[in-house]
Amino acid sequence: MTEAEWLASTDPTPMLEFLRGKVSDRKLCRVSLAILTADMALDTNREYRTRMEIASRFADGKASLEALRESWGVEGNTWPERAYEWASEVTAGEVTDNPAAAVTIVKILHDILGNPFHPIAVDPSWLASDVRILAEGIYQERAFDRMPILADALQDAGCDNDDILNHCGGDGPHVRGCWVVDLVLGKS
């Protein structure tokens, strides 16, 4: 896959194939969780929501693998050992059930992974305490409506990177694992 294909793609399947072995299991888990969470918006099943919360905590290193496996009722080599396969299966299932979901999944991939052809390094001078506190609040509270405020704070701290600033001010969707928030927080 070329950079132009990545940026123009409307099909998440080749994008995920391209990512195999190139991104962290955490990022792939975040992709899967974001897809499942988008699908879950109208789901009121408390058990499913609990499973998703445990999976989210696991992705952040705040729940054990045993707790994850127990909540999902699985054994052996499953997630996270199979993070890529899980992300692919979730994507295939969503696109099969609802072809329009492909557009949402592509947006999620762009939000979590940005442009993998041009990784951006954070300048330590941008990481003023208010920037980090704001990013942590966005992440913990899922308050992605604050992304434009994060852009302003980064700009005030000296960030002039158009990719970062435009992403923060863009329409999103933004989800946990957003590449800019992760960049500020030092998550990979």
Number of H helices, E strands in the chain: 11, 0
Q: What is the pLDDT of residues 62-105, one digit of tens each?
A: 888 788 778 777 665 555 555 666 666 766 666 666 777 788 88
Burial of 185 (0-12, 13-18, 19+ CB in 10 A): middle
pLDDT single digits (tens) 135-158: 999 999 999 999 999 999 999 999
Give the phi and the psi of residue 173 in degrees, each rounded to 5: -70, 155
H or E element, residue 116: none
Structure tokens at 2: 């070329």
pTM of the model: 0.81
